[in-house]
């Protein structure tokens, strides 16, 4: 057998004489050399960092010790230009978070506008670049004490063509009648506090006309001085916006009438005439209310207030209906009820037929024994009906709702009723009582 006399070659000999290994190490060496050259010989360049916020820090400043605050109309931002090696100031390496721009408050010692020098600094002092310029070297800031006041809001008249003919609006209604205004104290004192208006946003109002239903608008509140000039460094502090509502109602004319309550069954037989003055009324209400009306009921007359002959009642305009607005220039309506000649009878109501309702929990009510009868109660109706009525069919109720009296003797009102369906008791009657209030 032959012996192999070849000697094994060293590792480094194979490494440097192998083309594959040699190519790899050549690439690595070239890359390292390129990095060294770029870092050592890279040209200087500049880069602009945009929208760096300006910080106004009052802590430990003279302004803070004088109880002054900084008021601005916007958040200040500046552009900062830096210079350094091209590789270290690329957009991937730098942003607004790497720079701090501070306003110098050293010379702020009074109320008013002050020009503040801006001082830019690197957040990382060891960063391989330098700040060379900023887009603004100073800003103007107003300093003053802070103040808040509450002011009343007013509204303007509606534009003439906003409401359709045949419809009506009382004018705008605000969701809030007052607002809190806060800001620089000196500027707050300049406000024309008696003439702060909430106006309908013109952008929403543009092109809107001929409204036929209630509509809501956003508001614009102008803060101005006595000359109509805008007051700066003040603002509305309310978080909820003030909404302007324009209620729109339909107009119509209806005959007037009256209703009756606590009536006997045949009450119409006793009513000779009902006259309401005025006979018609111009009113307005929502579409659904207007469509449901046949006339305007101006009030309700309790039959216990009617006697033979002419009975006159007045009803205030504001009491007609919560759903209606009367457009007439009147304060009240007069109702005349003429009742036919009636038979009359008087009876007494003793305490066995007198009851108390809605007595407060802290009250005890009892009769005054010597005056426990309601005497001379007047009954009206047909003679035959009255002749058939006996004392047991007449009773009285004392409603103590909302009673505010004190312990002792008092006079309360009793309402008398009759079980008969075709006659009624006239008027209300005083009843002495004894009251104990706990």
Domains, the chain, ranges and CATH? 44-144 (2.170.120.30), 147-247 (2.170.120.40), 250-339 (2.170.120.40), 343-437 (2.170.120.30)
Res 2: pLDDT:
46
* CA–CA distance, 238 with 224 (Å, rounded to integer): 18
Question: Residue holding tokens 């390496």?
Answer: 93
C-alpha dihedral (103, 105, 106, 110), degrees to nearest 10: 150
* Helix ranges (DSSP H) in 222-312: 287-292
Q: Each residue's pLDDT tens digit in the chain (438 positions)?
A: 444 455 555 555 555 555 666 566 666 666 676 555 555 555 788 899 999 999 999 999 999 999 999 999 899 999 999 998 877 787 888 899 999 999 999 999 999 999 999 999 999 988 889 999 999 999 999 999 999 999 999 999 998 889 999 999 989 999 999 999 999 999 999 999 999 999 999 999 888 888 999 999 999 999 999 999 999 999 999 778 999 999 999 999 999 999 999 898 888 889 999 999 999 999 999 999 999 999 999 999 999 999 999 999 999 988 887 788 999 999 999 999 999 989 999 999 999 999 999 999 999 999 997 788 999 999 999 898 899 998 889 999 999 999 988 999 999 999 999 987 788 999 999 999 999 998
CB atoms within 10 A of CB 92: 6
Structure tokens at 64: 């803070």
Question: What is the per-residue burial (b if ≥16 Cβ within 10 Å, else e) of 300-331?
Answer: ebebbbbeeeeeebebebeebbeebbbeeeee
For the full predicted model, state whether its pTM sits above 0.85. Answer: no
Res 1: pLDDT:
44
Using a 10 angstrom Cβ sphere, with 0-12 exposed, 13-18 middle and 19 or more buried, the burial of residue 35 is exposed
């Amino acid at each position: 057998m032959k012996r192999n006399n070849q000697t094994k070659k060293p590792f480094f000999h194979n490494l440097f004489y192998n083309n594959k290994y040699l190519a790899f190490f050549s690439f690595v060496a070239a890359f390292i050399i390129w990095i060294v050259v770029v870092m050592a010989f890279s040209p200087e360049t500049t880069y602009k960092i945009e929208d760096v916020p300006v910080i106004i820090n009052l802590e430990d400043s003279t302004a803070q010790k004088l109880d002054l605050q900084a008021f601005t109309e916007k958040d200040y931002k500046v552009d900062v230009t830096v210079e350094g090696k091209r590789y270290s100031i690329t957009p991937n390496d730098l942003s607004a978070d790497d720079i701090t721009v501070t306003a110098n408050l050293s010379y702020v010692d009074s109320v008013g506008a002050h020009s503040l020098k801006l001082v830019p600094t690197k957040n990382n002092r060891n960063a391989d670049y330098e700040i060379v310029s900023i887009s603004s070297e100073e800003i103007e800031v107003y300093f003053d004490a802070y103040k808040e006041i509450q002011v009343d809001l007013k509204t303007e008249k509606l534009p003439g063509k906003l409401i359709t003919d045949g419809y009506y609006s009382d004018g705008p209604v605000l969701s809030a009648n007052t607002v809190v205004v806060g800001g620089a104290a000196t500027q707050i004192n300049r406000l024309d506090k008696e003439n702060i208006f909430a106006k309908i946003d013109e952008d929403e109002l543009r092109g809107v006309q001929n409204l036929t239903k209630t509509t809501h608008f956003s508001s614009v509140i102008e803060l101005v001085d006595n000359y109509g000039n805008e007051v700066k460094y003040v603002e509305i502090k309310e978080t909820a916006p003030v909404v302007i509502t324009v209620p729109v109602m339909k107009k119509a004319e209806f005959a007037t009438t009256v209703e009756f309550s606590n009536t006997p069954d045949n009450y119409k037989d006793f009513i000779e005439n009902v006259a309401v003055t005025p006979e018609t009324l111009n009113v307005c209400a929502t579409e659904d209310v207007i469509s449901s009306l046949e006339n305007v009921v101006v009030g309700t007359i309790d039959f216990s207030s009617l006697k033979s002959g002419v009975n006159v009642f007045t009803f205030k305009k504001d009491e007609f209906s919560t759903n209606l607005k009367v457009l007439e220039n009147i304060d009240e309506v007069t109702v005349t009820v003429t009742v036919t000649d009636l038979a009359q009878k008087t009876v007494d109501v003793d305490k066995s037929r007198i009851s108390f309702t809605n007595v407060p929990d802290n009250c005890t009510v009892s009769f005054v024994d010597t005056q426990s009868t309601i005497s001379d109660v007047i009954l009206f109706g047909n003679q035959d009906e009255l002749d058939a009525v006996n004392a047991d069919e007449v009773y009285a109720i004392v409603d103590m709702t909302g009673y505010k009296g004190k312990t002792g003797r008092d006079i309360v009102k009793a309402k008398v009723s009759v079980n008969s369906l075709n006659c009624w008791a006239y008027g209300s009657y005083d009843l002495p009582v004894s009251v104990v209030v706990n």
